[in-house]
Amino acid sequence: MGVGIALTGPGEAKDGETLASLNRFLTLVGQHDEPSMVLALATFIEDTLGRLILAYFRNCKATKELVEGFNAPLGTLSARAKAAYAFGLLTKEQYQDIEILRKVRNHFAHNWEGVSLERSDIQSMIGQLSGYTLDQRSIGGGVKERLLGTLSTCCIELQVFLGRLESGKVKKAPDVSHRLTTTKPTEAGTWRYVE
C-alpha cells in the first residue's frame, strides 16, 4: 500500500523530501510479510517520536540523555509515546493507535511461531484502531490494510509535525521556568520558548 502525499507552496522543499522518503518507506513496508511490516512500522514510529521529543525540548545534554543511549528513560516506544502524549505532541487517537501497534509488535517480537494478524486476539486489537485517514475515507480490506492504513496516516502526521518543529513553523516547548527576583521583569506576560 503506497500513500501519496504532496505539499505545495514556496519553501516546502525539505517537507517534500521528507514526504518522498516517507512515501518510499510506506510503499516498501506494505510489501513486507506481517512480522517485518509490524516491526518496521513500530521502529519507524519509535524513531520519529524520539526525534520529535528532541526537537520539542531544549537542545541540551539532559534532553539527549532522556531519549538516546543505553537505559534512556525515554528510549522505548512505550515511554516515548506516553511522554509525547503527556506533553501534547500526540492526539489521543494517535496515542491509542501507537499503543495498539506496540502491543501487536510485542506479539510478533516475542514469538517466533503461530503469530499472525489473522489471530483472533490480534484482530481484536487491530479492530480498535481509529481507522483515521487524512482524507476521512474508511480503510477497505482486512486487518493488514487497517493496520497499515491507520499507522501510515500516523507516520505522515508525525513526520509533518517534526518537520514543522525543526523548521521553526511550530513553536518549541514554552520555557515556563523562573527565578525569584526583586527586579521587575522586562517582558511581563509574554511566553518564552526553549532554545
pLDDT in tens, 75-129: 999 999 999 999 999 999 999 999 999 999 999 999 878 899 999 999 999 999 9
pLDDT > 70: what percent of the chain? Answer: 85
Beta carbons within 8 Å of 188's beta carbon, 6+ residues apart: none
User: Measured in whole angstroms, how far is the alpha carbon of residue 109 from the centre of its chain?
Assistant: 20
Report the alpha-carbon distance of residue 43 to residue 25 in Å, rounded.
Answer: 12
Does the residue 159 lie in any domain?
yes
Q: What is the pLDDT of residue 175?
A: 84
Q: What is the mean pLDDT of the chain?
A: 87
Catalogue the long-range contacts made by 21-29 (C-beta closer than 8 Å, 24 or more residues apart): 22/155, 22/156, 22/159, 25/155, 26/1, 26/2, 26/148, 26/152, 26/155, 27/1, 27/2, 27/3, 29/148
Q: What is the pLDDT of residue 153?
A: 94
Which one has a higher pLDDT value, 182 or 177? 177
Does the residue 134 lie in any domain?
yes
Return the closest-CA partner of residue 36 out of 100, 88, 97, 108: 108
Q: What is the pLDDT of residue 10?
A: 40
Does the residue 172 lie in any domain?
yes
Does the residue 4 lie in any domain?
no
Report the alpha-carbon distance of residue 116 to residue 118 in Å, rounded.
Answer: 5
126, 96 contact by CB (below 8 A): no
Q: What is the pLDDT of residue 128?
A: 97
pTM (whole model) above 0.75: yes
22, 156 contact by CB (below 8 A): yes
Domain span at 110: 13-193
Report the alpha-carbon distance of residue 188 to residue 193 in Å, rounded.
Answer: 14
Q: Output phi, psi for 48, to 5 deg.
A: -65, -40
Q: What is the pLDDT of residue 183?
A: 67
Domains of the chain: total: 1
Does the residue 133 lie in any domain?
yes
Report the alpha-carbon distance of residue 161 to residue 49 in Å, rounded.
Answer: 10
Phi-psi map region of 147: left, alpha, beta (phi>0 left; psi -120 to 50 alpha): alpha
Does the residue 168 lie in any domain?
yes
Is residue 7 scored above 50 in pLDDT? no
Does the residue 1 lie in any domain?
no
Does the residue 39 lie in any domain?
yes
Beta carbons within 8 Å of 23's beta carbon, 6+ residues apart: 2, 3, 4, 5
CATH at 27 = 1.20.120.330
Is residue 157 scored above 60 in pLDDT? yes
Return the closest-CA partner of residue 102 out of 84, 69, 126: 126
